Amino acid sequence: MTRSVIDPITRIEGHLRVEMEVENGKVSDAWVSGGCFRGMEMVVENRTPEDAAQIVQRICGVCPVSHAHASSIAAEKAYGIKISNNARIIRNLLEGSQFLHSNILWFYNLAALDYVNPLNALKADPADAYALALEAGTSTNSDFVALKERLSAFADNGQLSIFSGNWFDAEDGTAYTLPPELDLICTAHYLEALTMQAKASEISALLGGKMPHIMTLVPGGTSFVPTDQKLDDLKGLVDELYTWVASTMIPDTLALAPHYADAFDWGKGCGRYLAWGVFENQSMEMVDRYLPMGVLDDSLSLSDAQESLITEYVGRSWYKGSDSYNAPYFTTEPEYTSYDVNDRYTWVKCPSYDGKPYEATSLSRILVAYKRNVPFVVEQVDSLLEALGAPGQISIAQSTLGRTAIRQIETLYIAGLMKEWVDELIEAVKSGDGEYFRKPEGITGAGTGFWEAPRGALYHSEEVKDGKITGYQIIIPSTWNLAPRDAQGVPGPLEQALVGVPVGDIEKPINALRTVHSFDPCTACAVHITEPATGKSFETVTSPWGVK
């Protein structure tokens, strides 16, 4: 047996370490450690829910809208508010723009370099690349000749710029297998994606006042009021994004997949999935969201989510005690000991649903939507499976490449919905509907915001008394996905997904990296309590709602 360690995992948000035991060329055991330690739950105590919706966005600069959204939903539950239809549409557009930004960023700029080698593109014939792009049905917007010259300049001076620090030289015969022309096409789209994710953030800034950390999504609705000029700008940006996503992301996925088909054979994980749902329909019911709520067990049988079945265990994490706590009454008392895979080895806590680990990713959302018979998702998933030569075999989605590929269906779905929501908003404004915000009916209560960040299921819960927060708890997607062993010693979802992954180069285990990136980790989100480096300390006392 040999130990292989990736520390840090790059091209993610935050600091993550993966330690693996390798036997006979495959991972036989794995430990995932979140090394990022930061805080928000303590910060919002004794503040208003309106403040909290702004503050909790600072958990992460990649998905701040989702945190504001989940926090506002929790406050609206506590306050007894049902937001107006205009506010629903605008908040969907805000969330949708963030999802498009994050999904494009993840696929091209965070995960793609596990499969695409820009240096190999130097061998490409630009004319053949253009012909291949036409054959694959993908975008030909870029000048392939100019791009090859640009890459040559990088290589000649030894400065690889944004392509540096990757494992293009891994001693693994299956590490990078794309033909040069496809590497050139995908490198072009990598660069286009930098522009397109910026376009998505421009929508967030237009509707939210700025990005990241928007200002207009507030408990009670939104403070954004559309004008004709802003609606014109919004429609232009949404149309441009849709055109690019539709012409690029799924075709690129289908072009890549045959060259890495073995990645459909490993990386399954725990095989259980949960999604709280995202993007409100007019009913405002979780099961009726555009991407609906649901829980899938080992056999992919569907059930509704129940908050009472959520627990968090801290016995393998750097917190006091070894207990499990039931939602929403979690506790967080930090206590670093040492890194020991046989004891405590991460700042990430261990959430469970009905006593078992569950994956909470984009794959979870798509599988739940598929089981809920969302028409667009069913049609696109079936089409993708057929194009991959596996009609009806939804099980291939439960893999490293499946998890990576299927997210592009979500991206296309959201891009199309954005066009619909813009039209809805334009019609509402024309009709004279000017309601965007509703005041609270009371300022004492408790509520939970079940929502989704681009990376998966997001949970914000708060207790409010006389307009001030007396308790606040958060479980974000990467807490589910990066969880350590539970009280029974069962590994977390990513740890399970790594077992069985082939390792050809112990120093550069590229397949393990592909598997980690398929979960799109965000460890900056996964830990929420901190002791400032200034020496300032907080009294940490266990309470039903966490640290006080």
Residues whose CB is less than 8 angstroms from the CB of residue 417 and which lie 6 or more positions away in sequence, other chains included: 92, 96, 279, 290
Phi, psi for 70 (deg, rounded to 5):
-65, -40
Beta strand 16-23 with 2-6 is: antiparallel
Contact yes or no for 243/260 (Cβ under 8 A): no
How far is the CA of 12 from the CAs of 39, 117, 207, 349, in angstroms?
19, 19, 27, 19
Tokens of 137: 């049905």
Q: Count other C-beta atoms under 10 Å from residue 301's C-beta.
A: 9
Q: How open is the CA angle 422-254-410, to the nearest 5 degrees?
A: 30
Tokens of 84: 């107006």
46: three-class secondary structure by DSSP:
coil
Among the listed residues 459, 474, 436, 466, the one whose alpha carbon sits nearest the alpha carbon of residue 78: 466
Where in the sequence numbering do the catalytic residues fall? 13, 60, 63, 67, 455, 478, 522, 525
> What is the DSSP secondary structure assignment for residue 443, as one 8-state letter?
S
DSSP per-residue letters across 213-247 = S-SSEETTEES----HHHHHHHHHHHHHHHHHHHH
Tokens of 191: 């660069």
